[in-house]
Amino acid sequence: MPKKDIGSMTLKEIENEFSSLGQPKYRAKQVYQWLRKGVSSFDEMSNLPKTLRESLCNFFDIRSIKIKKRLESRVDDTVKYLYELYDGEYVESVLMKYHHGYTVCISSQVGCRMGCSFCASGLYGLTRNLTAYEMLAQIHTAAKDNNIRVSNVVMMGMGEPLDNFENTVRFLQLVSDGEGLGIGLRHISVSTSGVVPGIYKLMEYGFPVTLSISLHAPTDEIRDKMMKINKAYNTETLLKACRDYIAKTGRRISFEYALIDGVNNSTECADILAHRLKGMLCHLNLIPANPVRENDYSRPDDKEVKRFCDMMNQRGINTTIRRTLGADIDASCGQLRKQHLNQQ
């Protein structure tokens, strides 16, 4: 019988499990509190009897992670991690320092099935979903490794969070629990390439997270070439879901837009994009594209990036250029895992 993933359980679920094992509720609470601190084994739970710790190992897994590779930027203190999971798979995270505190960009899947042409994460397809505890462990490990407190989380690493919906929801519930990391949901961004059914499902939970939409193109003609998901949920369908989300939650949406020279950075693109976003409670985040060896996309120079930003602001769309972090350590998601897999 396979062991159960206790790290991803709620307190009530652990209490039910312990009840079936003849253990009192207070023991379940002790275990839950340790898990919310990010422990990697039952041996660390020092207020539990040794016999109980040994017994729990027979029924439950704590799916901890370990640092396989760590790269620290000499430019801006950004730290990129390649983490090894319990089953030998690998994911990436990035720790970023801002004036308001530390942010961790976490992965939600091993690989990705979305197949976006400008992204290294999906080059090998999807291997599996991450559990809620494996997502939490990325934050705990980075915090412990640097002896800092993480205040913000962005789910923009490897994978599509809304393609791993149940584990993403559980992660959001656990990461905001005051017993552990206690990171408020308003300090968390959930990114999606445009999984429209997932947007509507997330809307029903009413989480005050920031929804980030990887838009990257103003038209279906351009987006079809960049993002396979546009064949399933085109820009009209996606933008309607965004308007419905804003109306239901009152939350501003962030549109991510990777600027690719000669593809989506023309004046015509700015005109169409501004028209389509007009009147929405939104923010446009321009991301100068990172080069990926497997495609021929190139990044516009800084002057072109600023020109596009100015055009969007002049057209009434609140637009900023995302600060580039970790440029000297390949901090964009998927690249470190790709290098490791290619070396095996």
CA 35 to CA 233: how far, in whole Å? 38
Q: What are φ and ψ of residue 181, in 5° steps?
A: -65, -35
**What interhelical angle do 25-36 and 11-20 show, nearest 10?**
140
With contact defined as beta carbons under 8 Å apart, do 325 and 78 qualify?
Answer: yes
Which residues participate in catalysis according to the annotation?
92, 333
Return the residue matching tokens 């546009």. Answer: 230
Q: How many residues in total does the chain contain?
A: 344
For residue 142, count other CB atoms closer than 10 A to its CB.
24
